[in-house]
Amino acid sequence: MSAVVREQGTGHGDDAADAGERRPLVEGAPSRVIAFGRDGAIPLSRFLAHVHGVAALLPDAPFALNLCEDRYRFLVAFCAVALRGQTTLLPPARTRGAIDDVRARHPHSYCIGDRDDCGCDALQDAGHAPEPPHYVRLPDVLPTADGDAPELPLEHVVAIGFTSGSTGVPGANAKTWASFHRGTLQNLVALADLHGEATLPVVATVPPQHMYGMEMSVLLPLLGNVAVHLGRPFFPEDIAAALRDAPRPALLVTTPVHLRTLVESGVALPPLAAIATATAPLSRELAAAAEARFGCEVRELFGSTETCIFARRRSAIETAWTPYPGVRLQPVPDGTLVHAPHLAEPQLLADIVELDEAGRFVLRGRQADMIEIAGKRASLADITRRLLAIEGVRDAVAVQSQAADGCGVRRVEAIVVADAALTDAMLLDALRCSLDPVFLPRRLRRVAALPRNETGKLTRAALEALVHVD
């Protein structure tokens, strides 16, 4: 979990400056399309009726875990919870363990979902997990009620997001409406060139419970001229079908894992406005292949649960990241402080950056990724990037193995998903061309798949379990 560092005088992001101010929860004309799907479009007027109808169903409690699979129902539930003055909890995964952990931290909470099994990924013995306590199952036909577009106090904590656990134990990060509102306006400006005055359709493969999914598929249609597809397509054919539901070329919001699958699938996609990707590093080779395959720009976004999105790059042709306007990075011994208009206080990231004179930056790994062997230093993230660039490697991660005696030199180990035609010797020869010999993996382990979560990340717990498998 990244530490939060308080700083005086951070400007209009201060909570004190927001006290008493209110901003709309959703903006636009009643006829504006906010969501679409196979059965057509949903206007803002109908959406607001659903929000007020669902709000009347909710119990009196301070917190709600939103487990909805259907993205439109997630939108409705998120706004209904906010309308009631409550806070949405965004679990790091929809497993029973993750849900129970979040509820243990917030005992006065309830769950809201759109499935009989509460949306848990881990189903139990009889094929269905029992419903968690205080589970509100949305009816198949959403109720409606009259009501205007609500306004929220800027200081109201509308959501608490939990980090994925890729750097340790998941941490809680509170998000005020001020933070979400300002961050969303930045994202809308960054996407404005894709659609002009027309409504921008968005199709997302990432879950709305993840902060990236929240920003790009929930907040965008609430505050901008954006309409989101109500589903979460997973397989390439499903993604193509969802894109065909869009009235015009859509923005595909996805991850590098999904993007690689799409590129290699051979499935034809309709014309796209652009592709946005985040949650894991995107290689230049994959970005270039996707641009060539789908005929559109691939934009990689940089952010975290703590910071939300604050920088972008076109990875096919750029190495450096361009921060959003008003964002300033400050290298410190433990990583990098991010100062931004949408942050009430600077946030500390574990990432080490190198800044140029224009304020653009290049990632140099994380402090926890840095390793030293024979007096030389390297980054596990950089070794992983070099592994993924080898033709025939479909997925990979570099880790530092435990020394046999517990106190000796810890060597690099590579865990790879690769074509059978790519032998270990060929893989090592390819690495040897760009890597110092002391950092060549002393052990190559082949697996059918890496234990990535639904956003494509490898949690620390999953990696440690994998490393300790003989």
**Contact of 31 with 56, CB cutoff 8 Å:** no
- For residues 314 and 379, membership in a common domain is answered with no
For residue 48, give its domain range. Answer: 18-318
- For residues 385 and 312, membership in a common domain is answered with no
Residue 333 in any domain: the answer is no
Q: Decide which of 354 and 378 is more confident.
A: 354
pLDDT band for 131, please (50, 70, 90 cuts). Answer: low
Residue 240 in any domain: the answer is yes
pTM metric for this prediction: 0.82
Residue 265 in any domain: the answer is yes
pLDDT band for 125, please (50, 70, 90 cuts). Answer: very low
- For residues 146 and 29, membership in a common domain is answered with yes
Mean pLDDT of the region 390-400: 88
Mean pLDDT of the region 404-422: 76
pLDDT score of 163 more than 90: no
- Burial call 161-176: b when 16+ CB within 10 Å, e when fewer: bbbbbbbeebbbbebb
- Ranking 51-60, 157-166, 453-462 by mean pLDDT, the lowest is 453-462
pLDDT score of 249 more than 90: yes
State what percent of residues in the chain have pLDDT above 70.
88
pLDDT band for 435, please (50, 70, 90 cuts). Answer: confident
Q: Decide which of 386 and 366 is more confident.
A: 386
Among 117, 110, 135, 79, which residue's Cα sits nearest to residue 102? 110
Among 98, 152, 455, which residue's Cα sits nearest to residue 303? 455
The model's pLDDT over 149-162, given as tens digits with 9 standing for 90+, comes to 999 999 999 999 98
Q: Rounded to 5 degrees, what are φ and ψ at 251?
A: -90, 120
Q: Decide which of 463 and 443 is more confident.
A: 443
- For residues 109 and 232, membership in a common domain is answered with yes
- Looking at 282, 297, 318, the residue that finishes a domain is 318
Residue 345 in any domain: the answer is no
- In this prediction, residue 99 carries a pLDDT of 86
End-to-end CA distance of the chain: 29
Average pLDDT taken over every residue of the chain: 87
- Looking at 318, 334, 351, the residue that finishes a domain is 318
- For residues 302 and 383, membership in a common domain is answered with no
- For residues 260 and 379, membership in a common domain is answered with no
The model's pLDDT over 205-222, given as tens digits with 9 standing for 90+, comes to 999 999 999 999 999 999
Q: How far apart (Å, rounded) are the C-alpha atoms in residues 56 and 19?
A: 27
- For residues 309 and 393, membership in a common domain is answered with no
pLDDT score of 130 more than 70: no
Residue 432 in any domain: the answer is yes
Q: At what angle do helices 256-265 and 284-294 cross, to 10 degrees?
A: 50
- For residues 28 and 174, membership in a common domain is answered with yes
- For residues 396 and 311, membership in a common domain is answered with no
Residue 165 in any domain: the answer is yes
The CATH number covering residue 197 comes to 3.40.50.12780
pLDDT band for 405, please (50, 70, 90 cuts). Answer: very low
Tokens (6 digits) for 256: 């590098």
The model's pLDDT over 355-378, given as tens digits with 9 standing for 90+, comes to 999 999 998 877 777 787 877 777
- For residues 195 and 301, membership in a common domain is answered with yes
- In this prediction, residue 7 carries a pLDDT of 30
- For residues 153 and 81, membership in a common domain is answered with yes
pLDDT band for 2, please (50, 70, 90 cuts). Answer: very low
- Ranking 79-83, 92-96, 167-171 by mean pLDDT, the lowest is 167-171
Mean pLDDT of the region 330-336: 90
Residue 365 in any domain: the answer is no
Q: How far apart (Å, rounded) are the C-alpha atoms in residues 216 and 207?
A: 10
The CATH number covering residue 415 comes to 3.30.300.30
Mean pLDDT of the region 286-301: 97
- Return left, alpha or beta for 69; rule: phi > 0 is left, psi -120 to 50 is alpha, else beta: alpha
Number of domains in the chain: 2
- Looking at 297, 318, 339, the residue that finishes a domain is 318
* Cβ-based neighbour number of residue 325 at 10 Å: 10
Q: How far apart (Å, rounded) are the C-alpha atoms in residues 257 and 457?
A: 9
- In this prediction, residue 198 carries a pLDDT of 95
- In this prediction, residue 369 carries a pLDDT of 76
Q: How far apart (Å, rounded) are the C-alpha atoms in residues 191 and 297?
A: 12
- In this prediction, residue 370 carries a pLDDT of 77
- For residues 416 and 296, membership in a common domain is answered with no
- In this prediction, residue 271 carries a pLDDT of 97
Residue 3 in any domain: the answer is no
Tokens (6 digits) for 147: 């009501």
**Rg, C-alpha atoms of the chain:** 22
